[in-house]
Amino acid sequence: MNFLIVLLAIILLEAYSELGFVQRDNWLRRWHAGLSKLGLASGSSALGMVLFLAVPLLVLYLLLSTLSQQGLGLFVFLLELAVLLYALGRGNLDTQIALLTSDLERDDLQAAFHDAAIFNTAYPEGSADSAEDLKNEVFAALPYRIFERSFVVIFWFFLLGAPAALAYRLLALHGDLRLDSDDSRAVKWLWLMEWLPVRLLGITLGLVGNFSQAAGLTRQLIFSRSIGTDELLGQAIKGALQDEEGSGHAGETSIQLNAQAISNLVALLGRAMTAWLVAIAILVILS
């Protein structure tokens, strides 16, 4: 049933792009504010972070268990679908990509700097100072945005169900909504949840792109304890695109930032998602 829910969620995401009708986060702000009043919302407080995650997840688990025990399979299906849609990323990514592509087609770097800043999770106002910085920022931030709103959520949903997918989104929202000035614990836990999915995606990118380059770069970084998810994914993307954008020595890239490069990047991740869905379908059939 999880595979069917994933397919339906992807279809809905493709059809509507922005799922604001199920992705309202006011309740999360109120929940965090309630913990703050009790002095438990600090990012440096392990108990506060555990409560921030555990209570919503426990409520969801109890709802799913109760509905399942009552034989209400349809309601379990609808609830899990709603949770998966909620757990997917925020904003209309297709529109944001189209704006950046349009800027690059017009060679309007100033507008491209502004539009690319939307994808940057670390510095939402943008941190690029040159065309080379802009390329590095886009190839780190854009793949991560696609990854965090699809790949990692689907991975945890299929592996451990709706509560795991919700746990990931709650951690991501803790930072995106700037619920706490000290977000170090949430960032660390988020990195841990992304550790395995991003490395599997790095291998997948090699299978659907330039295997030797992508796999080589991923192999060098696979056991790193310090590299960020966006950096590892950016390196794998650049390697996988080499046979489409140009040739180069191992560890070097000749990719130019232009509209075609953005199109190739999105297409590459689309092929990777297709590969994941095929692999999941095979696992479902074999099980």
Parent domain of 188: 2-12+26-286
pTM of the shown model: 0.89
Domain for residue 196, yes or no?
yes
Distance CA 100, CA 285 (A): 40
Domain for residue 20, yes or no?
no
Domain for residue 105, yes or no?
yes
pLDDT confidence of residue 23 = 87
Distance CA 256, CA 265 (A): 12
Domain for residue 17, yes or no?
no
pLDDT confidence of residue 251 = 44
Domain for residue 18, yes or no?
no
Domain for residue 19, yes or no?
no
> Which residue positions in the chain have pLDDT lower than 70?
41-45, 121-129, 217, 243-254
Q: How many residues does the chain have?
A: 287
pLDDT tens digit string along 140-172?
Answer: 899 999 999 999 999 999 999 999 999 999 999
- Residue for token pair 């099980």: 287
What are the backbone angles phi and psi of residue 242, rounded to the nearest 5°? -60, -40
pLDDT confidence of residue 170 = 96
pLDDT confidence of residue 198 = 94
pLDDT confidence of residue 182 = 74
pLDDT confidence of residue 254 = 59
The number of domains in the chain is 1
pLDDT confidence of residue 151 = 96
Terminal Cα-to-Cα distance of the chain (whole angstroms): 12
Domain for residue 213, yes or no?
yes
pLDDT confidence of residue 248 = 44
Domain for residue 21, yes or no?
no
